[in-house]
Amino acid sequence: MFKSLRVQLAAWYLVLFSALFLVFCLVLYSSVSRALEGRLEESLAATSSISAQIFQEELEEMQGDSAAAAAEVISKTPPRGVVIAIAAGAKILAASDPEHRRDTEAAVARIPAAERREDAWDVPGWGKNGARGVARRVTYQNREFLVVAIEPLDSVVQSLQVLRETLWLVTPLLLAVAGAGGYLLTRRRLAPLRSMMAQTQAISDRNLETRLHIGDAAEELATLAASFNELLARLNQSFETMRRFVQDASHELRTPLAVIRGEADVALSQPRTAADYRESLMLIQEESRRLSRLVDDLLNLARADAGHVQLQLEELYLNDLLAECCRSLQPLAAARNVELSCVAGEDLAVQGDEELLRRMVVNLLDNAIRYTPEGGSVSAALETQGSEVCIRVCDTGVGIPAEAATRVFERFYRADKARSRQQGGFGLGLSIVKWIAESHRGAVELTSQPGQGSTFTVRLQR
């Protein structure tokens, strides 16, 4: 249950609220208690000052008879819960509450030192709750008297008791309301999350085009749902690509397999001459070669997609690599009566995977030769442009129409299907070129004029 985000949020909210409320209660209690004591001390100060003034006047009137003057002051004191006592040193001359005579004497004995006499002081042991006292000094003809006002703290303690009881009563009620409110609020605000969860549970590879309904969810949830929808879109696209890839691959595999089977069936249907068998076997051999090539290409692309191809990076001379590739394709060019020239230039060292780069150049040259009619020419050149190295393969061949130019790098795409298949192509060569260039942090570009020729440029970082 405590794993639920809803419960956790509500619990945290309650803990925080309780802590704040506790602080609030403490602050309230201490301010009220200080205010009540302050008021009591103020009233004591006023009472003691008035009594001191009256005492002074009485002393003067009675020419120094302090006992009579004190008795006079006491008789004039209104009975208001405040005890007035007049003392000469430690001796009490008169006190308004004879019942508390002992306590009064003890209180007078505790009056603070002369310099702090004007302050209120605590009188512990007075009644149930103690008392507070204030003293005023009166001097008459070099004699010093103290007029003391003492008030029990009972009223303050009672008021604080009422406050405490109220807080005890209100606190559980308030916490219950806060807890329930917090729970309901988080439950409401997290409802879109529950709905998103239910929606995601219903998504499988069959309905990847479904999108989460965002509604009026909070900003963070809306962002989460939007990111999830983007992820779904990307997944859907790669699933689609994969599905198409599998379909195209099966389609491509079917043709050579059908040729092999058909040829074998025909050869075996009746006894034939050795020459016939030889011819059939040669055809089967040729188709098997095509099949192996296709399977190799498919495997390479699948590995590349899965990120399983580790580039074997090493320093190599690109000019040497280009010259060797041209040399290896010279026989094909000669057989097709296409002139193949190579301008490899000076030593140009780069970091790269030799086997893959060789494959990339061979694919480009092979295409250029295959799609160039007899008598045409193909040239390969190496150039440096700043920090880039360009491998350029130009031909004077059939060219590629503009609408196909962006698609030739897609898997299984053939600009001219009939011609390409007839040339033995599967439409995978350029996607392999693109992957190799990109895995070397490079790119491949195409410019072409239909009927006049094409130029493929691979840019690599030095």
Name residue 458's amino acid: V
Question: Taking CB under 6 A as the rule, which mask of x and - marks residues 313-352 in contact with ligand ADP?
Answer: ----------------------------------------
For residue 415, the Cα-to-chain-centroid distance in whole angstroms is 46
- In angstroms, what CA-CA distances link 278 with 263, 281, 291? 12, 5, 20
What tokens were used for 373?
A: 């009619």
Nearest-angstrom CA–CA distance, 222 and 439: 36
Element (H, E) at 174: helix 154-189
Question: Taking CB under 6 A as the rule, which mask of x and - marks residues 96-135 in contact with ligand ADP?
Answer: ----------------------------------------
Nearest-angstrom CA–CA distance, 71 and 69: 5
What tokens were used for 49?
A: 């000052």
Closer to ligand ADP by Cβ: residue 126 or 426: 426
The residues in 364-383 that bind ligand ADP, with binding defined as CB under 6 A, are 367-368, 371
Residue with the two structure tokens 């030799």: 354
Closer to ligand ADP by Cβ: residue 329 or 398: 398
Q: Which residues contact 23 (CB under 8 A, 6 or more apart)?
A: none
Please list, residue by residue across 347-374, b when 16 or more beta carbons sit within 10 angstroms of its beta carbon and e when fewer do.
Answer: ebebebbbebbbbbbbbbbbbbbbbbee
| Shortest distance (Å) from residue 249 CB to ligand ADP | 14
Residue 426 lies near ligand ADP (rule: CB under 6 A): yes
Kindly tell me which residue out of 153, 294, 430, 458 binds ligand ADP, with binding defined by CB under 6 A: 430
| Shortest distance (Å) from residue 320 CB to ligand ADP | 24
Residue nearest to ligand ADP (CB): 425
Closer to ligand ADP by Cβ: residue 365 or 382: 365
SS3 of residue 212 by DSSP = coil
Nearest-angstrom CA–CA distance, 301 and 307: 10
Cross-strand pairs, 457: 392, 445
Q: What angle do CA 435, 427, 292 make, to 5 degrees?
A: 90
Please list, residue by residue across 430-448, b when 16 or more beta carbons sit within 10 angstroms of its beta carbon and e when fewer do.
Answer: bbbbbbbbeebebebeeeb
| Shortest distance (Å) from residue 245 CB to ligand ADP | 14
| Shortest distance (Å) from residue 277 CB to ligand ADP | 31
Residues contacting ligand ADP: total by CB under 6 A? 22
Closer to ligand ADP by Cβ: residue 192 or 376: 376
Closer to ligand ADP by Cβ: residue 66 or 454: 454
Contact stretch for ligand ADP (CB under 6 A) within 73-81, 188-196, 363-371, 436-444: 363-371
| Shortest distance (Å) from residue 233 CB to ligand ADP | 27
Closer to ligand ADP by Cβ: residue 287 or 395: 395
Closer to ligand ADP by Cβ: residue 130 or 450: 450
Torsion on CA atoms 67, 70, 72, 75, rounded to nearest 10:
-120
Question: Taking CB under 6 A as the rule, which mask of x and - marks residues 381-420 in contact with ligand ADP?
Answer: --------------x-xxxx-------x----xxxx---x
Closer to ligand ADP by Cβ: residue 427 or 442: 427
| Shortest distance (Å) from residue 248 CB to ligand ADP | 12
Kindly tell me which residue out of 96, 379, 454, 457 binds ligand ADP, with binding defined by CB under 6 A: 454
| Shortest distance (Å) from residue 384 CB to ligand ADP | 24
Residue with the two structure tokens 């880039």: 388
| Shortest distance (Å) from residue 319 CB to ligand ADP | 22
Name residue 380's amino acid: A
Task: Count other C-beta atoms under 10 Å from residue 174's C-beta.
Answer: 14
Q: Catalog residues that contact ligand ADP under the rule CB under 6 A.
A: 367-368, 371, 395, 397-400, 408, 413-416, 420, 425-431, 454
